[in-house]
Amino acid sequence: MLNFCIFNNFKPMTISNRKGTFQLLIIMILVVLIVTGSSLLILYKVVLNEKKEYLRELSENQISTIKSFYKDTKETKDILRFLKNQQKFNSVLGKTGEFIIAYMNKDTIYFLLDHLGYDFHNPRSIPLKSKIGIPIQYALSKHAGFISGLDYRGNKVLAFCDYIPELHWGIVTKINISETREPFYEAGLYGMISAIFLVFIGTLIFIKYSNPIVNKIIENEKQLTLITDNIPVNIAHIDKNLKYLYVNQKLADRYAKSKEEIIGKKVFEIVPKQEFENAYPSIQKVLDGETVFFENSNFYPNGEQHFLNLFYVPHFDNKNRVVGYYLLIQDITEQKIAEQQLKRVASDLKNLVATKDKFFGIIAHDLRNPFTSLIGASELLYKDVDQYSHHSIKKISKLINEAAKQGYSLLENLLEWSKSQTGNLAYNPQKNKISELVAQNLSALEMQANHKKIQLYSDISNDLIAFADRDMLNTILRNLLSNALKFTHKGGKVLVIAQMNGNDVLLTVKDNGVGIPKNDLDKLFRIDIKYSNMGTSEEKGTGLGLLLCKEFVEKHRGKIWIESEEGSGSEFKFTIPSK
């Protein structure tokens, strides 16, 4: 399990400095003002509704009393006198509360009862369409309900209006709006002053006790940022819209950008197109809630290839929903290079051991055989030459000659092979006429071919040129031709073909001999497997010649391979540069 920390690009405010303190204080005061103002406004609405309800109830009670009196006495004066004598009426309504009765005659409104009392014979009056007296105008128009506006004295009031059709009276119960607001103005002023004072004191206390904590948080963030910026891992926090929320310095360096240039940008705006397309399937999986890990290789903007371990870890919120993901990229290029070097060393060591075994095997067995034949045959001649006929001496001489040739050929291959293994073999490529080199090698092997009555052919254009080391190319041709003669029956054929193949020359040594079993084809050209069969005339071999051919062809950056079918012969093919 991989544990890691991701830090958002959020810097805590340094409360100890003046600017931070002032900002905090202003914010808290604004919050207090908004909360206090909202509370007072709600309270004012509640009180205003209670006032309106009281005005409505009082007005209805007074109208009920008026109707009752009128039913009993039919005297409007008695009704007005009774209402005027109600001492508690104005005190219940407050300082500006008032109950008004008026009637309308033509274009004039006459007040029967107002704040001064009543005057039945000479009532106060105002024009019907006056800009004042709005509530009584509303009542005399036979409307009922609440209305706000200027009363007959020019004060802005909240009033409940009604109309008594039996008396043709308009009734208004009112109170000045300023009276309903004054307590809240005063309470609001004192409340806000108190709140601001408490906020100021609270801010000072908060600063005193929180400053060490905030400074510790800032210090910890700096330390953790320092750690994440210097660990050898690229770290990024990305939301579900593929926007970078955080990156460490290592990831920013990877794309040759600053952290500020990356944070807030979309992933596809930063990473190369091919890299994003390769990563998109993994992004889809991690946004589905799946943790993804894989190894990949990418080219950095500087053109260098890097091998990477990539971790995609989903980020869940407290409701277990995926809101983004964390990306960790570990560069394992050095590790990969070390692994590759270790594999090369192991391969070289394996080849070295096989070379040693091959070398000692040849010395211990294959090189001894021709000398054993030489010693045995020469000893016969030395001791009993007078007892043998001319024919027998010729036969023994032939055995000596063949053993000497076999030993010389083996020593020659062994010497060249040892030089190639120790790096002491000279490599001098030059232009060579293919037809001439092939003709020379065919001529050198003509006696061996005649002995088995094998016909040698070549099909090569005279103007075909190979750019190769002459000695190495001769060794390749000699060994492949010798191998073909070895595994071709008496009376068979060996053909050498050369033709252009792009910028290379393709040479083929073809025979109609015994061929090679399909299962044995992979054993050729391998030093770790000893593969050698007897020829059609019991010729022996070491397999060293084919190893030399492979090394010399590869020295020329060419390729060598075999096409063969058991019983139908073989075709050894190799390429050599033409220039």
What is the pLDDT confidence band of residue 237, given thresholds at 50, 70 and 90?
very high
Q: Would the CA dihedral through 466, 470, 474, 475 be positive or negative?
A: negative
Q: How far is it, in rounded angstroms, from Cα 144 to Cα 4? A: 74
Q: How many CB atoms lie within 10 A of CB 286?
A: 23
What is the pLDDT confidence band of residue 238, given thresholds at 50, 70 and 90?
very high
What is the pLDDT confidence band of residue 499, given thresholds at 50, 70 and 90?
very high
Q: Mapping DSSP to helix (H, G, I), strand (E, B) and coil, where does residue 169 land?
A: strand
Mean pLDDT of the chain: 79
Q: Return the minimum-mean-pLDDT range out of 175-184, 309-318, 533-542.
A: 533-542
User: What's the confidence (pLDDT) of residue 30?
Assistant: 79
Residue 505: pLDDT over 90: yes
Residue 103 phi/psi, 5-degree rounding, is -135, 170
Residue 358: pLDDT over 60: no
Is the distance from CB of 117 to CB of 101 less than 8 angstroms? no
Residue 8: pLDDT over 60: no
User: What's the confidence (pLDDT) of residue 407?
Assistant: 67
512: which residues sit within 8 A by CB, 6+ positions away?
A: 488, 492, 493, 568, 569
508 against 43, higher pLDDT: 508
